[in-house]
A and B are shown apart, each in its own frame.
Chain A
């Protein structure tokens, strides 16, 4: 095996040389193009002995020796990938590297080693009776820094723009680093919503956000937003399976109108709420609500009075003759406008 080696621009020259002598080498049964055989991967037994040597050196505070011994093993591991080794062994290598780096005051190397250990075993726990507290703290900090949280975002209207930490994101399920994130949701014809979200490990969060209608804007610019709101009303009605929808209109402090669509079940419990609906009709005053189809009543009034008079007389006679009402009273109430 002949390997042409050079540095920098000389590498090309070396390759040319190798090419020139290649036929001769092949004639002798040698393949100059075969990649150099890698060093044999350390067997588990070899690695165990190297780990033991490094551990012993670390235990006796021969830190340089420990790092040199371990670095050789790590270099080999990184070259081969360590695919034939147990994960627990790989974790031990990384933790030992972290221990040595911490003892040598190399915080960066400590964190990198722990990151690699956590990549293999995210649930890694170090024995607090054996490990120094600073290392435990660093591990905890790195775990938090690396942890991710699940967030599901649902917004209405569906075409709202979701900006998370300054970047536009799609709605749906997201995986994010745990911690605090800033969320801003905006849509045409709606008031913008901005809030801070705190995502905690192991607690999937769902944000169900409905943007309130910016009524003045919608009224000032009728068109696509208005159409979208009407569609939303239809969709909401369908999604609620025919339950009652109530349009709730309120005036805000500055006198602006805000509409909210509320679904009620038969116990008058709010089952769903959605800002938005037929904003034009919402902004009508009660007196402006179109009346039901009018019916000329007079042909019916005379007949009605006649029938009701008979009924009234019958009731009056019945009440007058009955003794069962002695323990009761009547309520004749008025419903005032």
Chain B
């Protein structure tokens, strides 16, 4: 640290001591701003701006700018309120180089301090920073109020506390062990900042619904849902149902079954009309589509069997619709980015070679056919990858991370696909790379708007450079 920086810190300490002596104000919180050791979010910046938001909107006057070498900051006169958030930006002039947010907190009155300290993780825009190393294989992530709920391949449920360690960094806390869900297919469910996980199949049949505290709140008996693996899952936008599509049965034979699990305080299974052919490890996405009057959820199923098709499934079990796609690709990453617009990227061809193709599928329920591949397609991915993870980052923007290359090794780089209905077919932008050795098996956008990517051995945090900031 430079002499100037030391002097600044000493001066600020002097101010803090004097202020605390002169103003005996009890309503004070002391958050920490942290970053990862392999990132340098303040490098190149000339200042750090700390401001307070309410419901994502900056509060006038609740902002302070400190030099980039500062080690503390004071922000007085912040109005009490709910759904508050601390925003920290590393800036060079007016340009933001790095950004971080606290998890939302309530501070309604002097006697009702927030239950969590609004610590902030700051990361360089568009980069991945390794936050945790673990010997577990993360397979599902859903956001919670202070981090995330994660499931591992052997059925362990853990809490990812974004600032749970004593130094303000992240930690994993074991919550439950479900041996019957070892090898299960998992899907993350809402509500947005207090997520749940639904595990289906695995070592035993049935399903388990896990709340944010790691408790099993509802189960399906083994007889209600046969043991299967490789199931493709899609969930409703309001988490009221999950569709379980295809997979392999206990004899490792691909099946064409489509099952809807309705989620209330219990889990209820409904058998829907099967697919046109068995599908194993198909790619699926729930998409909201317009029928000209209303918008409703439907499910798009891509690949996973022969012939390679795109199939539109009605949640109600209504008529399906399929068309063959050329070239046939499996193991694609699929995500809805707008109403009636789905992006599919990567995949593997019939010989197992990874693909760099990006496709747009447009879904309109008042037209015939109801689903079509948009032409021209966006540009190609920068790296061919199969089995990548797709994550929507807001309207028109999707993150594709990880996947496997031709040698079966993890692809470190990530790419953003930016596509909106008024700017079709969109474009592809490279962004960041996972740490060496890291692989992506699950990703979720947390309540602090960072992206948590998990896989075997490593959890990484990513701060999107684009999209809703």
Contact = CB atoms under 8 A, between A and B. Distances in A.
B433 A289 contact: no
10 contacts: A203-B376, A248-B126, A269-B465, A270-B126, A305-B11, A311-B15, A325-B25, A327-B80, A330-B78, A331-B30
A262 B33 CA distance: 25
A273 B429 contact: yes
Interface string B32-48: 11110000100110001
Given A294-B2, A297-B4, A335-B72, A329 B127 contact: no
B43 A332 contact: no
B383 to A, nearest CB: 10
A329 B110 contact: yes
A216 to B, nearest CB: 14
Interface stretch (A96-104, A220-228, A314-322): A314-322
Contact of B7 (A297, A316, A329, A337): A297
B2 A268 contact: no
Given A296-B3, A309-B18, A254 B436 contact: yes
Contacts of A260: 430
A335 B22 contact: no
A268 B433 contact: no
Interface in B64-101: 66, 70-80, 86, 92-97, 99
A326 B25 CA distance: 9
A330 to B, nearest CB: 5
Report the interface size class on chain B: 35 or more
Residue of A268, A297, A309, A327 with highest tally of chain B CB at under 10 A = A268
A27 interface: no
Interface string A257-270: 01010101111111
Contact of A319 (B10, B23, B168): B23
B268 interface: no
Given A269-B466, A328-B79, A295 B3 contact: yes
Contacts of B19: 312, 315-316, 319
Interface of B: 2-4, 6-7, 10-11, 14-16, 18-19, 21-25, 27-35, 40, 43-44, 48, 50, 52, 66, 70-80, 86, 92-97, 99, 107, 110, 124-127, 167-168, 356, 376, 380, 409-410, 412, 429-433, 435-437, 465-466, 469
- CB-CB nearest 4 A-B residue pairs: A316-B22, A312-B18, A329-B27, A297-B7
Report the interface size class on chain A: 35 or more
A251 B438 CA distance: 11
A244 interface: yes
B32 A336 contact: yes
A286 B40 contact: yes
B44 to A, nearest CB: 7
Given A253-B437, A266-B95, A286-B43, A333 B33 contact: yes
A286 B433 CA distance: 18
Given A255-B436, A329-B107, 11 more contacts: A250-B432, A251-B433, A252-B436, A253-B409, A258-B433, A296-B3, A297-B7, A327-B80, A332-B16, A333-B33, A334-B31
